[in-house]
Amino acid sequence: MVENQELIQLLNTAIVKTKEKKIDSSYEERLSETCKKPAISALSVAIQHLSESEGISRDQAAIQIVETVRELDSIWNDYVMMEGLSKLKDLLSPPTQQ
């Protein structure tokens, strides 16, 4: 369980850090380069493992993994947005008098 929590924390951190990257409009080149990364091979292993351990098709396993990562990404988007809004409110609120 501890190892799983560490991996979740690692993945969550990675999702947040990737938000810092510059958006590039050359999607064909980006897609090609991304598909060559070792992470794609790791995802392939994860898909196979989930498929076998849950007794589901590889398509279903891939969908579950993508949906889970998207949900994590969505949660972190919401969190970062709320943090930003909170900081803006602090900046825009009148100073407290003592």
15 located within any domain: no
pTM to 2 decimal places = 0.65
Which residues constitute the domain of residue 66?
33-90
49 located within any domain: yes
- DSSP string over the chain: -HHHHHHHHHHHHHHHHHTTSPP-S-HHHHHHHHHTSHHHHHHHHHHHHHHHHHT--HHHHHHHHHHHHHHHHHHHHHHHHHHHHHHHHHHHSPPPP-
38 located within any domain: yes
Each residue's pLDDT, cut to its tens digit, for the chain (98 residues) gives 668 888 888 888 888 788 776 666 677 888 899 999 999 999 999 999 999 999 999 999 999 999 999 999 999 999 998 988 888 888 777 777 66
Number of structural domains the chain divides into: 1
76 located within any domain: yes
